[in-house]
Amino acid sequence: MSNKKSRLIRLTISYIIILAMVFIIIYPLLWVVGSSLNPGQSLSGSKMFPNNPSLVHYKYLFNLENSNYLLWYWNSMKISVITMVLSVISVSFTAYAFSRYRFIGRKNGLLTFLILQMIPNFAALIAIYVLANRTGLIDTHIGLILVYVGGSIPMNTWLMKGYLDTIPKELDESAKMDGAGHFRIFFQIVMPLAKPIIAVVALFSFIAPLGDFILARILLRDEEKFTLAVGLYELVAKQFGNEFTKFAAGSVLIAIPIAILFLMFQKYFVSGLTAGGTKG
């Protein structure tokens, strides 16, 4: 009887903790959605469930005569997609090399990546700005993409390398005996088995540009080249600006492509993340 009571107590405590965490996560999201449906401008009068919900702020954002929101949205999607593709390609080759080959400087390279992933991108803002200025990449999306791709390589390389280490090397050796070359082994054997970790890297690389403000604000100058984060900030940072409910509407729309991508990669995400951290 005591065992049943202890199990019941543990189960009850677990559910209470889970419900508390769900509330902490869901409440701000519901509040932002409610604010976006509030027909007023002030957040002080916003409610989680407005009395008279309205889509007026969404209509305002989609009207090209009112704001450049759609242009900012397109810029962010373009930067995020290109960053995701380039990051997956570069990280896949880099992680495969560190996982499958032994070469001079391998341990030092891994150690360097480990140190670099501990340093956030904004800690090197001055160096990034000077480098972009000297190469003529200020106020260009290419410069921003290169920074994002370079910043994603250290952490994601470690993550993918850990996953590739769990794939038996006997598969590579068997393929070599059948006459397969390095690139064929990489593309036809290893990468298909690495779909879960590829999905994780793709999702992380896609989300990072959407949530970044500092780097985009430093490198971009022209309003027509702004990303969503910078554009929405400028929307509420104008003199006497009071566009916080429009800001909430714009923030809600940012979550749509992230949610779609997560649902697409959901079956790979958990297995890729856990397996990638089990072996260094």
193 lies in the same domain as 107: yes
Q: Which domain holds residue 18?
A: 1-54
Overall number of domains in the chain? 2
- The pLDDT confidence band at residue 270, using thresholds 50, 70 and 90, is low
Residues 245 and 224 in one domain: yes
Residue 172 lies in a domain: yes
pLDDT at position 277: 46
Q: Is the domain of 6 the same as that of 49?
A: yes
Residues recorded for the chain? 280
213 exposed, middle or buried (CB, 10 Å; 0-12, 13-18, 19+)?
A: middle
Residues 144 and 269 both lie in one domain: yes
Q: Are residues 114 and 245 in the same domain?
A: yes
Tell me the average pLDDT across 135-161. 91
Residues 12 and 102 in one domain: no
Residue percentage of the chain with pLDDT more than 70: 89
Quick check: is 59 in a domain?
no
Q: Is residue 60 included in any domain, yes or no?
A: no
45 and 98: one domain? no
Does 62 fall in a domain?
Answer: no
Residue 192 lies in a domain: yes
Give the tens place of pLDDT for each residue, 187-196.
888 888 888 8
What local confidence, expressed as pLDDT, does residue 279 receive?
A: 46
* Residues 186, 148 share a domain: yes
CATH code of the domain in which 117 resides? 1.10.3720.10
**Residue bearing the bigger pLDDT, 61 or 51:** 61
Residue 234 has pLDDT above 70, yes or no: yes
User: Is pLDDT at 122 greater than 80 in this prediction?
Assistant: no
Distance CA 133, CA 144 (A): 12
- Do the domain assignments include residue 163? yes
* Structural domain contains residue 234: yes
Q: Are residues 19 and 75 in the same domain?
A: no
The reply to whether 130 and 10 lie within a common domain is no
> Does residue 259 share a domain with residue 217?
yes
pLDDT computed for residue 276 by the predictor? 47
**pTM greater than 0.85:** no
212 and 154 within one domain? yes
Question: Does the residue 1 lie in any domain?
Answer: yes
